[in-house]
């Protein structure tokens, strides 16, 4: 008779379910996992804020828990409270997805395998976000936590190559995934209707850029490149997102009707579905969610020439084009080239990347394999070898004679 096994229990630990890229990826991961083989629970360290995705996670019908800690109390009490939580809610694998959760997982119980996902470039991104001194300290702490993990996952080869002091054999690359059930192209009729509802011109080619208006994303180059291009007059650039560079962006676009700063919006999907091209001028990325969502909506992409963007374009070079980072002139030329290209081929190639290589289901399957590998390494469940039953010490594995 076959063995009867319980599901492999995964505990995902995060600071909170903030509405941003890493949490969207966590949602995609859980949503597309095989529920016949795995059960999932999410443990947050701190109370939720206004920009929480908690309602969406409730829809997944999984266990949702919180330790209710502040940053300071998390340092003092996190380890003890995690141990107490695991006594009441035993799990098979712990998966941490941000700095605070990685630290808590690293100093937590050693008897449960731990996975830490790194979504940003080591060192460089930290220094841009936090400054040289504090950024270096944050990086040292996060890297130390990663060294204590059973497996570190990076979202791109570039992030893996930038790892410092971590055994490369312990690092696995699993790219982010896009929900191709949600992010899909609109019909031509749908695109026209969306433009009417969003008050966008029907006759212009629309270039859209999505991201935090910060130095790392470099929206100023996107604006300068577009405005200096020869196709600006018959086109429009839409910038979705907010951030510290908002004022400088407004100064650059003052009196320019063909550039619109949309600001923060909850209907990114609608803007993607009604646009023609996607632009991302980032200086550093892990593996950009916004670019993947654009590709899934059939948008050809114009991306800054950085490592993670090159990795995307390697999947299908006809889906877009690269331009020199921080070079508005290079971007202008590439916009013109894309504007006059074979749009049908570009659009088909964009969809090819998303559906064949970057779907959330594909990402989940890779994590499932990793979870199963760690579970089997730690639990050594019962198995048959050459027809002989090998008994298991794992009480969760029932063997029927």
Distance CA 171, CA 307 (A): 18
Please indicate, yes or no, if residue 52 is contained in any of the structural domains. yes
Please indicate, yes or no, if residue 71 is contained in any of the structural domains. yes
Tens digits of per-residue pLDDT, 259-274?
Answer: 999 999 989 999 999 9
User: How confident is the model at residue 125, as a pLDDT?
Assistant: 56
Please indicate, yes or no, if residue 338 is contained in any of the structural domains. yes
Q: Where are the alpha helices (DSSP H) in 89-212?
A: 99-106, 124-130, 132-147, 157-161, 188-197
Whether residues 230 and 242 fall in one domain: yes
The CATH number linked to 267 is 3.40.50.2000
Flag whether the pTM goes above 0.85: yes
Q: Which of 81, 274, 103 is nearest to 192 (CA)?
A: 274
Domain that holds residue 47: 4-177+359-398
Tens digits of per-residue pLDDT, 188-215?
Answer: 999 999 999 999 999 999 999 999 999 9
- What would the two tokens of residue 97 be? 């997805």
Give the sheet arrangement for strand 63-66, strand by strand: 63-66, 38-44, 8-14, 93-96, 114-118, 151-154, 171-173
Distance CA 228, CA 179 (A): 35
Distance CA 273, CA 267 (A): 10
| Predicted confidence (pLDDT) at residue 401 exceeds the cutoff of 70 | no
Which secondary-structure segment (H or E) carries 223? helix 219-228
Tens digits of per-residue pLDDT, 8-67?
Answer: 999 999 999 998 889 999 999 999 999 999 999 999 999 998 889 999 999 999 999 999
Whether residues 135 and 27 fall in one domain: yes
Structure letter (DSSP) for residue 359: B
For 63-118, give the DSSP string: EEEE----HHHHHHHHHHHHHHHHHHS--SEEEE-SHHHHHHHHTS-TTS-EEEEE
Q: Quick check: 335 and 207 in contact, CB under 8 A?
A: yes
Whether residues 224 and 369 fall in one domain: no
Whether residues 270 and 342 fall in one domain: yes
Whether residues 233 and 292 fall in one domain: yes
Q: Which of 135, 137, 136, 173 is nearest to 152 (CA)?
A: 173
Please indicate, yes or no, if residue 144 is contained in any of the structural domains. yes
Interior CA angle at 62 toward 60 and 66, to 5°? 115
Q: Kindly report which listed range (64-78, 176-190, 331-345) carries the lowest average pLDDT score.
A: 64-78
- What would the two tokens of residue 183 be? 């992010």
**Phi, psi angles (nearest 5°) of residue 199:** 60, 50
SS3 call for 334: helix
Whether residues 84 and 170 fall in one domain: yes
Which secondary-structure segment (H or E) carries 40? strand 38-44
Count of other CB atoms within 10 angstroms of residue 314 = 11
């Amino acid at each position: 008779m076959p063995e009867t096994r319980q599901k492999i229990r995964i505990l995902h630990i995060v600071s909170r379910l903030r509405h941003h890229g890493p949490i969207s990826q966590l949602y995609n991961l859980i949503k597309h996992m095989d529920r016949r083989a795995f059960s999932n629970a999410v443990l947050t360290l701190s109370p939720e804020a206004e920009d929480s995705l908690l309602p969406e996670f409730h829809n997944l019908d999984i266990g949702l828990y919180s330790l209710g800690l502040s940053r300071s109390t998390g340092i003092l009490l996190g380890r003890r409270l995690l141990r107490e939580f695991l006594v009441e809610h035993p799990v098979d694998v712990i998966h941490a997805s941000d700095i605070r959760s990685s630290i808590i997982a690293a100093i937590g119980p050693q008897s449960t395998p731990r996975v830490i996902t790194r979504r940003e470039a080591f060192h460089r991104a930290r220094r841009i976000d936090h400054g040289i001194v504090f950024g270096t300290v944050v990086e040292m702490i996060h890297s130390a936590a990663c060294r204590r993990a059973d497996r570190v996952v990076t979202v791109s080869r570039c992030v893996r190559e930038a790892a410092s002091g971590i055994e490369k054999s312990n690092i696995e690359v699993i790219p982010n995934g896009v929900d191709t059930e949600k992010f899909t192209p609109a019909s031509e009729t749908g695109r026209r209707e969306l433009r009417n509802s969003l008050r966008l011109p029907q006759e212009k080619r629309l270039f859209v850029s999505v991201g935090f208006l910060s130095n790392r994303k470099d929206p100023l180059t996107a604006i300068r490149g577009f405005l200096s291009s020869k196709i600006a007059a018959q086109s429009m650039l839409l910038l979705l997102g907010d951030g510290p560079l908002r004022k400088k962006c407004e100064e650059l676009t003052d009196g320019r009707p063909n550039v619109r700063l949309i600001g923060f919006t909850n209907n990114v999907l609608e803007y993607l579905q009604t646009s023609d091209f996607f632009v991302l001028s980032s200086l550093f990325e892990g593996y950009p969610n916004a670019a993947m969502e654009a590709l899934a909506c059939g948008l050809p992409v114009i991306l800054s020439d950085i490592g993670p963007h090159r990795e995307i374009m390697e999947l299908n070079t006809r889906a877009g084009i690269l331009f020199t980072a921080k070079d508005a002139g290079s971007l202008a030329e590439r916009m013109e080239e894309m504007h006059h290209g074979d749009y049908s081929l570009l659009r088909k190639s964009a969809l090819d990347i998303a559906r064949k290589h970057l779907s959330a289901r594909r990402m989940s399957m890779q994590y499932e394999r990793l979870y199963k590998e760690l579970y089997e390494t730690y639990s050594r469940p019962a198995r048959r070898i050459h027809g002989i039953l090998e008994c298991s010490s794992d009480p969760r594995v029932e063997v029927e004679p």
